[in-house]
Amino acid sequence: MAKISDGFLAIIGGLLELYGQQASTTKINIYWSTLSQYPIDSLRRAANVWVRKSEFMPKPADLINLMGGPNNHLSPDEAWAIAILASDETNTLVWTKEIAKAWAQAELVYRNGDKIGARRTFIEAYGRLVNSSMMNGKNVEVFVSLGSDKTKRADAINRAVFIGLLSPEKANCYLPKPENTIAMLEFKDDQVSAKSMEHIANIKEMLKKSRTCIKTD
């Protein structure tokens, strides 16, 4: 039996408050039972990414998708947006084997001046490669190809952190000092407002009164 952690309440309680939703024992327990197995830092990053892109409260599945998994490949359009950067050697790329291999097939078409055809070639190749990887149970492997422009490098690495491709720890390996400071994340356990602390305390009191515990495997 595991007690719901304060860090978890800070994130989920903060999301509920931000999106104007009422906290309930049932709701908190559902999020805990489905998300407690993930590292709190991964959950915090997923929450930060979500609030930047959506005006709606995330479901547990939304946060799980952002935290990634064995089959959490980027969409074809997202992959193409990364692959096309390979046309300029000054760019730093944070990509997967599937993206790199699909770009290798599309690059010749692109160099011949047919950008539309290159994108079509890439999308088709990427789809086949992703399907093959998923069918064979292969995990997503992310790697970094460093470009010559250090400013672009920092932007690319930090963006990869925010979309969940790289952890802050791995990102720091690729950034020269003093650039290796990942942007501050909003959901900091030690930097919550008095109003948020009160909100979390109210949720904890609600859970205490219900005497609800969640079993974890």
Answer whether 70's CB lies under 8 Å from 139's CB: yes
Residue 12, class by beta-carbon neighbours within 10 Å (0-12 exposed, 13-18 middle, 19+ buried)?
buried
Cis ω for the linkage preceding 178 (within 30 of 0):
yes
Nearest CA-CA partner of 100 in 70, 122, 132, 71: 122
pLDDT tens series, the chain, 217 aa: 478 888 999 999 999 999 999 889 999 999 999 888 788 888 888 898 899 888 999 999 888 877 755 456 788 898 999 999 999 999 999 999 999 999 999 999 999 999 999 999 999 999 899 878 766 767 778 889 988 888 888 888 888 887 777 888 888 888 766 544 444 444 454 555 666 677 777 777 777 766 555 544 4
Answer whether 35's CB lies under 8 Å from 67's CB: no
Query: Which residue type occupies 174?
Result: Y
**Domain extent listing, the chain:** 6-68+187-210, 76-163
Biggest CA pair distance of the chain? 68
